[in-house]
Amino acid sequence: MRLRQLRHSSKASIALDIPDLVKLWVVRLFVPLGGQQKFIKDEGFREDLWANFFGAPEWINDDFADVTTKAVRIHLREVYQKYENTLAGAKPPEQLSTNITRLSSMLGLSETDSRILELAILFHTDHLLDVAGDLLGVMFSSDRVSWVLSSLLKIPVKNVRDALSARGPLASSGLLTINPESYSSLKDKFNVLSDNFVNNLRYSDVDPLFMLRDIILPGKPTTLRLEDFAHIEPELKVLLPFMQHALANHRRGTNILLYGPPGTGKSELSRLLAKEMQSNLFEVSSEDEDGDPINGNRRLRAFRAAQCFFVGQRTMICFDEVEDVFTGNGVSYHNSGMHNKAWINRMLEENTVPAIWISNSVHCLDNAFIRRFNMIIELTVPPKRQREQIILQACQNLSLPGDQFLHLATNEHLAPAVVSRALSVVHCIREQLPLNYIPMAVEQLIHSTLRAQGHKLNGTNKEETLPAVYDPALVNADTDLLAVAEGLKRAKSGRLCLHGLPGTGKTAFGYWLAEQLGLPLVVKRASDLLDMYVGGTERNIASAFAEAQEEGALLLIDEVDNFLQDRRRSQRVWEITEVNEMLVQIERFPGVFVASTNLIDSLDQAAMRRFDLKIRFDALTIDQSCVLLERHCLHLGIAKADANQLRGLASLHGLTPGDFAVVARQHRFRPIEGAGAFIRALTEECGMKDPGQKKAIGFL
């Protein structure tokens, strides 16, 4: 291809409206930094962008002829020298300069810090500078970045390295870090807080705090009161004065961790805490102004920026969903500019603004981080009495009597947020709903949420299998149950083990005993406590005892043999740890604990020593069976048994109150015409337990 000489002079002017400082940096990227090599190699001078910038329209070659490389180099050098002579003292755009000065004053940035930040902002907002930076290719190391910045800014490379270090103000404030990824363009090496923050710095005349508005948001107001968190009153008695002290004295390293299941009020507690402290609260956003999620590392850098921006103010910072930042192995370091745990440890020890960190679980946190929190508070679902108050308060907005919904409070998984969201939905459409349908709609919404969360739905606290009135005189126990109840009223604590055949009234006695003692009742079955993951069952056991203690309730655990198997027969470690946890919790529990089992012979020997009293429940005596039959006939409105029928009843062995309850339930869909039919049904039930009992009774 024939070459032709460049026929224009370097005196041609650059017509583009570009800041002088950008022009200077562009020619430095081209000439002393070597961008011209890629420019010439790739024939980039055929593009209008650079032809116009360098005042060389003849570079645009429509007939595919080329210009000599030598001519291009000469022209680039001439333009470079011209702008070094005339623009060496060029300043950044006025608005950017003003905003950088504000930040420098607020955050204590050095002159080098400010110049580097200006350069990074212009690389992110000026397309020409970004394209020119691409001519240098990918940046393979932070050292090369430092060298390039040193050449562009005419600052000693050591000063640049110091300014970009992890302990420098730029990185520690989160304003600017260097991307550790090897294959990045010069622009992409600069990790900035957010695009909005960059644009605000470049173009907007606003308060520096306003520049963070897409990543740091003012905390929302709360309608809750301290009384709504009565179940953590001991923790609040420490937390409130500690936070007051931290704010008044600008205490460094103040960090509170709140964790627990979703919907238990962790975020609301952080807002209530700020309200009680008469402090501002800012929350680290999890999404930007466009609604797109912000990754964990950007959120962490926003937190670091807020720490610098709010220093010395009566302010707290809330960081929700810490799972975005922390992992089970420590901290997520990808693209964060942090290379070890030491950095996050220092942050938790040196932060100047008190911080509240919120998580659904502590399992995402490394132990090294956990021990650096001043206080760690678990928020569980409130106890039943508080759940009732939450429901009553929420129902006021619906102008409905809250007692219509109080039975919902028996569900131990009913978090406050589930109630408030369900009632808010119904409140929006209450004019379109029939009045008598509103309670059903509330229950439907709550149950659907609980079901989606994997929780079981409770009915009422009463066993449908029980007769209308429970009478301990109709239970064949080896101990005077009335005397036991009277004794527990006086002692207010005790540990009972109820054992015997299924259906003999063990569980029913637990319900009756709670009523006699005037105590709430917490009932746990094996299915409630067993967990498929190692350690999960132990946590559920501990949680059950904690719940009962918080509510001042009688704790009843059915099928306790699942957790107290003789450890000498254990084949797996977790089988032993479950027994150990149950034994420890039983011994520490200060209230009334009732356990039931059909397999007492399989219990661990140490378990037997933990129970103050072991009560055996046997099958009914003949007299008890006759009285119980009479009561059921009266309750069902059917004819009583005559003498012959009672003799037939007496021939049945092993009858239990549970057998009578089963037959009574059958009456709902298979009407029982009289006592004879009731006894025949009892005979069938006995036959299911002992085939030898299944025989005809001729006089029925």
**Average confidence (pLDDT) over 296-305:** 85
Confidence (pLDDT) at 397? 67
Strand partners, 20: none
CA distance 327 to 616: 50
Side by side, which strands form the sheet with 592-597?
476-477, 613-618, 494-500, 592-597, 554-557, 521-524
SS3 48: helix
Strands 280-284 and 216-218: antiparallel
CA distance 77 to 258: 62
Half-sphere exposure of 295 (CA within 13 A, CB side): 10
Compute the mean pLDDT over every residue in the chain, rounded to the nearest whole number: 84
Window from 110-119, 566-575, 584-593 with minimum mean pLDDT: 566-575
Window from 427-431, 478-482, 640-644 with minimum mean pLDDT: 427-431
**Average confidence (pLDDT) over 272-300:** 85
Nearest in space to 308 (alpha carbons), one of 374, 213, 219, 209: 209
65 in Cβ contact with 169 (< 8 Å): no
Confidence (pLDDT) at 441? 85
CA distance 576 to 181: 48
- Residues 632-670 pLDDT 10s: 998 888 988 898 988 889 899 899 999 999 999 898 888
Max mean pLDDT range (126-135, 269-278, 404-413, 651-660): 269-278
Window from 160-169, 386-395, 547-556 with minimum mean pLDDT: 386-395
> Per-residue pLDDT for 693 more than 70?
no
**Average confidence (pLDDT) over 319-338:** 59
Confidence (pLDDT) at 266? 94
> Per-residue pLDDT for 626 more than 90?
yes
Percent of the chain with pLDDT over 70: 87
Judge residue 46's burial from the number of C-beta atoms within 10 Å of its C-beta, 0-12 exposed, 13-18 middle, 19 or more buried: middle
Q: Indicate if the alpha-carbon torsion angle 113, 118, 124, 129 is positive or negative.
A: negative
CA distance 254 to 243: 8
> Per-residue pLDDT for 484 more than 90?
yes
Would you place residue 436 in the very low, low, confident or very high pLDDT band (cuts 50, 70, 90)? confident
- Residues 594-607 pLDDT 10s: 999 999 988 888 88
- Residues 237-262 pLDDT 10s: 999 999 999 999 999 999 999 999 88
Question: Which has more pLDDT, 399 or 616?
Answer: 616
Window from 431-435, 482-486, 561-565 with minimum mean pLDDT: 431-435
- Residues 21-69 pLDDT 10s: 999 999 999 999 998 888 887 765 556 778 788 887 766 655 435 567 7
Percent of the chain with pLDDT over 90: 42
164 in Cβ contact with 241 (< 8 Å): no
Eight-state DSSP code of residue 553: P
CA distance 389 to 379: 17
Confidence (pLDDT) at 570? 67
Would you place residue 690 in the very low, low, confident or very high pLDDT band (cuts 50, 70, 90)? low
Confidence (pLDDT) at 246? 95
Question: Which has more pLDDT, 480 or 531?
Answer: 480
Judge residue 632's burial from the number of C-beta atoms within 10 Å of its C-beta, 0-12 exposed, 13-18 middle, 19 or more buried: buried
Q: Which tokens in the block code for residue 33?
A: 């930094």
Confidence (pLDDT) at 16? 53
| Three-class secondary structure assignment of 53-73 | HCCCHHHCCCCCCEECHHHHH
> Per-residue pLDDT for 3 more than 50?
no
Window from 127-136, 251-260, 559-568 with minimum mean pLDDT: 559-568
Confidence (pLDDT) at 283? 93
Window from 144-153, 180-189, 393-402, 456-465 with minimum mean pLDDT: 456-465
pTM summary value: 0.67
Tally of residues, the chain = 700
Confidence (pLDDT) at 51? 77
